[in-house]
A and B are shown apart, each in its own frame.
Chain A
């Protein structure tokens, strides 16, 4: 009996301490993430009054407007375009760089640092520099190659120009994650493959990729979520008078426009709920699809 109650006390203590230790994080999540999330969903059923006062309940009116809003549809397309270009390229290039920088070459750490540098720079600063590089009149790219391309104001290419900035800034981060994962692949597999006479490309596809597939999966999921939420590059680069704006603005960008520029929190919230649903669907699909290609050993 005495033994059991002692065990119970210890269990309770462990339990209590566990909660105390995660309390700061939980509180932060509740106050900064969970509460605003429900508040946002709640807001999306209201029409916002001046300065957030006198909101009136309008039911699903914001959502009906959302479905019929061509700008929102275009923003969904733009967001997908950005994601489809940005994510695969930033992963493939990072993977190749990681494999190359994992071999025995000179000045390895210098190269690693160079590739990682964009990650250290603030996105707003990165966007400002690229904005000048892309400038049609005074930009380095057009002047160096002596061409006249409207990189960021031609509606058919602007979104890809912005995706290139995204790729450039993400490669470093992805590469570090892949490098960490590559170091954990046992050397034995490669030695065995060498004995069997496999060449580098075969080893890459049959050993490296399967062995680090859990990391690739992690990067893929987080990158897609991040890409779907793209805002800062577009905000810094696109001007309201830019003819390409309609073809580049992402969902978060129009959410910002409606919520904070036009002060229509209700409609802005509806847009962001749509984004939440889209991201959730994509992530669920990925979690199911991973069973087909991710190897955990």
Chain B
């Protein structure tokens, strides 16, 4: 009999441990508000600035928050896993390529009422395209954080050595090609031009839209990769690859373009405005490099920059929605947006704050990024962006690595993309 009691005891103990974990979730409110809010972002370079802003916020309100950085690729994997398991961070960044999916599945907190009652937030103060990204069925689900454009960075030292004139606003993509060729050294120590090929925003999308091509149609039903204008625009890329003016894809896969650029292996490369926080802390770039406008298209005379804007979102099942709202209200307020610009974290979404951003690094010609705002195209997206972007990048990769021509690759990518869109 003794043994049976003993056995039962073990069972009770074993089972009670299972419930113990369930009980611990019931903690009183006091304890909850002492715990810092969890904030998840993907850009390491912005982390110090954002932490500074949070410190400012904590001083005023007493609400603490903790930033966690997860790199871009793992961010979406982790966020989706959190969404399924019901354990999203309180506050996180939203991006156009995923926002519709998250909003339509009810994973983000509906902010419309809070915005209506707020003195700080008025959505008219932000670019309407960015506000639209985070609006679903007339409700708002995120506060615009920033706006970004693309511009051309160049290495002045390498230009001087090769005796080439710095890029200027009269440059067309053909001028870029001719001068990049002059800058390229035969022994492979310097390449004239490079752009990041694992995504399109910082590189070839800009060429496509300047030539009146497109990635996805306006009604988001059809791929534009097989459009003649798209393919024509990408012939510049083909020349750069064929004549080895751009580093081989192997080299760019092993070392990011920004690493190649800041080690003087690449003379010109386009980068998004979000790279500023990284570049201004790099001595080499500070001393040798500067930024200019992207070239224009000779045929259409357009100089398009793809633009995008992140949003601050709150998890729909956050236990501290009110505290979380206070934090993103601060991030999105005029004051918070000015602070973000002054700290040089990124350009702010709030209208007319760019002057502050420009002065955060006066040694670079940051005016280029602002001028690029004259002809902006929203970063192409649809509900299934995550999936078709991977398919497009994978097919285009075969062209970047010289296995097939760009014409073949874009037709293949268009076919895959259309299949994925039709399943939406």
Q: How far is the CA of A240 from the CA of B3 in the complex (A)?
A: 59
Decide if B390 touches A242 in the complex (CB within 8 Å).
Answer: no
Q: Of B7, B76, B105, B255, which contacts A53 at CB under 8 A?
A: B105
Closest to B85 in A: A52
Q: From A13, A150, A261, give the contact of B254 (CB < 8 A).
A: A150
Other contacts beyond A241-B393, A241-B400, A260-B80: 11, CB < 8 A: A13-B3, A134-B254, A135-B254, A137-B251, A138-B263, A150-B248, A240-B393, A241-B197, A261-B77, A261-B390, A263-B386
Nearest B residue to A139, CB-CB = B254
- A154-B197 Cα distance, complex, nearest whole Å: 17
For chain B, the count of residues having a C-beta within 8 Å of the partner chain is: 37
Q: Which residues of A contact B7 (CB under 8 A)?
A: 16, 20
Encode B385-424 as 1/0 by CB contact (under 8 A) with A: 0110010011001001101000000000000000000000
Q: How far is the CA of A263 from the CA of B3 in the complex (A)?
A: 49
Question: For residue B396, which residue of chain A has the nearest CB?
Answer: A241
Tell me whether A153 and B254 are in contact (CB under 8 A): yes
A232 within 8 A of B: no
Q: When A and B form their complex, what is the total count of cross-chain residue pairs whose Cβ atoms lie within 8 Å?
A: 81
**14 sampled A-B residue pairs with Cβ under 8 A:** A50-B104, A51-B80, A51-B105, A52-B84, A135-B255, A137-B260, A137-B265, A153-B254, A241-B198, A260-B77, A261-B73, A261-B77, A262-B387, A263-B386
Per the 8 Å Cβ criterion, residues 230-264 of B in contact with A are 248-255, 260, 263
The answer to the question of B69 belonging to the interface, with a C-beta cut-off of 8 Å to chain A, is no
A152 at the interface (CB under 8 A from B): yes
Contacts of B164 in A (CB 8 A): none
Contacts of B397 in A (CB 8 A): 241, 243
B81: chain A residues at CB < 8 Å are: 260
Mask of B67-90 contacts with A, CB within 8 angstroms, 1/0: 000000100110011011000000
Q: CA separation between A243 and B254, bound complex, in Å? A: 10
Q: Taking CB as reference atom, which chain A residue is nearest B252?
A: A241
Residues of A within 8 A of B (CB): 13, 16, 20, 50-53, 134-138, 148, 150, 152-154, 239-244, 260-263
B265:A20 contact, CB within 8 angstroms: no
B107 within 8 A of A: yes
In the bound assembly, the distance between CA atoms of A20 and B3 in angstroms comes to 12
**Which residue of chain B is the closest to A131 with respect to CB atoms?**
B254
CB contacts (< 8 Å) of A263 on chain B: these are 80, 386
Residues on the B chain within 8 Å of A260, using CB: 77, 80-81
Q: How far is the CA of A179 from the CA of B107 in the complex (A)?
A: 55
Q: How far is the CB of A28 from chain B (nearest CB, A)?
A: 12
Which A residues lie within 8 Å of B198 (CB)?
Answer: 239-241
Task: Please give the distance in Å from A13's CB to the nearest CB on chain B.
Answer: 7
